[in-house]
Structure 1
Amino acid sequence: MKAELHSAEEYRLAALRSYGILDTPRESDFDEVVKVAAAICETPISVVNLIDEGRQWFKAEVGLGVRETPIDSSICAHAILQPGLFEVPDTTLDNRFCDNALVLGDPHLRFYAGALLTTPEGFPLGTVCVLDYKPRKLDEKQRAFLQLMASQVMQMIALRRTNATEHVARLEAERLLSEKEMLMREGDHRLMNSLQLVQSLLALQSRNASSDETKLQLDLASNRVLAIATIHKQLHLTGTSEEIDSQTFLQRLCESLKHTAPVQIAAINVNAAPITMLSATASGLGLLVAELVTNSFKYAYDVGQRGTVTIDLERTPAGWRLEVSDEGRGLPAGFDIDQSQGFGMKVIKAFVQRLNATIEVKSRPGHTAFRIEGGLD
């Protein structure tokens, strides 16, 4: 069923276009939002979705591989007509979507949850949404996180419009240049604080978790958010939005990760060369390190056994080489990362692919190492 138009569609579309975001290139900050949303909500698909006339356009997406689809098949077009978080546990049981082309055919969407991107005037522009191929429901923490991300994305969109306007004005006066830089730093600072707040809430819930498995999942989510928050902190401290020093960044990230380490982890050792990286590359690298270090926390050492996790980063002729290793029990016999169906391994492979990198795994009792190599472009 095609969604009805918004009651103030003409004004809603005018508000959307005033932000100047439609048909813009991908941007790492928005890409990170959908990656983290998919990881925390444990869904294969996540999208920053804007509802335009006759189409829905994706500022960022993971799991779809396209930048827009027709409005007739849009679930988000229904979502912008609803207040609050819109969740469809099973699309085949909802009369609005049971005949939807994306439900009946590829990619056979069965679950949807979307939080509104709303302007200060109250116009819904689109959603931050997650989708799955099977029926399910989000828990309360995932719903709260999705709504927080929608609020944060709306701030990013608003800041982007402010920056674009100031860029034109900068040609007229040097005074506006300094004003723009101040606004950008303030935007980075707010985003950093929001991410740190999410990470702190997840860490608090982990400490109060009723089971080891719940604690583990909360720690995994906390560490993924922590990696992004640390990147933004580093960008804020260096005063640049383009490049960061990988050595300082990894040291700060691992210092923070140590706070979530189990008692059997004696130390996290960082041996990193001072490589200047684009923020998008450093972001992917940080998420990889967080995932692999947390993997060692979970599997490397038995209770009562003490050991370390080591991160080595070196420059290569083609770019960089990262190795995350431990001296624990080793991976199961016959382990093949290409065949692994574990969620953590899927996340790791997704990050490796995003970096256009390669991964190699070596493991025996007493030594396990994940080696990733990539370029700096």
Structure 2
Amino acid sequence: MIKPQFPIDEEQRLAAVRSYHLLDTLPEKDFDNITALTANICDVPISLVTLLDADRNFLKSHYGIPFNESPRDISFCGHAILEESNIFIIEDARKDIRFKDNPLVTDMNAIFYAGVRLVNSEGYPLGTLCVFDTKPRILTKSQKKALTAMAYQVVNLFEARKRNRALLSVQKELRERNEELKNFAGVVSHDMKMPLANMIITSDMLRTKYGQHLDEQGKEYLDYIKQSSFTLSEYVTGLLEHYETDKTASLRNEPFDSQDLLEEIIELLNINVDCEINLPEENIEMQANKVALEQILLNLIGNSLKYNDKKKIKIDIDCEEKDGYYHFTITDNGMGIPKDRIGNIFDLFVTTGTLDRNGKKGNGIGLSTVKKLVNRLDGEIEVSSTLGEGTTFMFTIKKLN
């Protein structure tokens, strides 16, 4: 018997083998199906998917034998990975100097062997797809072709599992970072709100107590501090809502009426301009996440009010239940959205650059939060707009059972 040599790049080859994280793993149906089919095609009792480790031959799939590893120094596959040919065949191991005294031959009667190297995308032979028989034999041309094709599929499975593992790792890291960001946003929002409230109160106190000693420019500075504090407070609140959408979307409520919800929202908006809001004619008893839906509608209707330059604001709201979803449409006669901005209007921190009715610029958080909530409620949202004429938002949310 002659022990198999090690490849000259054995260290790199071993690193490649271990990068797939398949050593010492349990059997898998995908690989077992291949070995069973390969044994049937080649008309042999044994078929294996092997991975050559440092000192052993690990059998990822073993059809026809009860064990899942063997010493590398007696393995046929240790020789096979050194061959550059497409397929390594030993028709009668008893007549081959490399194998005639091998325990696999003398004790287990492994006479015939055929193996195809499992070469990864970097060119390293990881192991083999191989077959054994207890008697000499010759593979037909079609059997050789099938064995080679099956080996190609094994490598594809290896690569797919490696990609999936990498994706799962990335997803885990993203979830952890997102959770860290949520916690950070929560802490920052909480810690900033009180100082901002103090700044607003202090600016009012300064105006009341020392206003008579300030000139117009001084009073403007106080107004600027107060307004900036309000703006930052709204920004912080928006960020907090954005990163709490998962929590908000997971809440469940008792059934409620669509009409009551819309009337509550209009009352909350405290509208003090000339505005006509047309509600849906039909009242629907809704089974949905009321808190999330309220946040969505408050944001969209609030935008219709803010981004409107008409003397009389007009907002049409429609709602219907269809195919297990609630369909909402909100149309206004406002400023509209420029065509070059409408494609990414739902992206976080993206704004149209347009000042609202009060001369303030948006922060690009509200619509991103709306989209996240709609998606978390298994719905979709779309927007259409004509600059100077108005905007329509259409969204759906799934009815809860």
* Band the TM-score falls in, shorter-chain normalisation: 0.3 to 0.5
Which TM-score applies when normalising by structure 2? Answer: 0.43
Larger-Rg structure: 2
Which TM-score applies when normalising by structure 1? Answer: 0.45
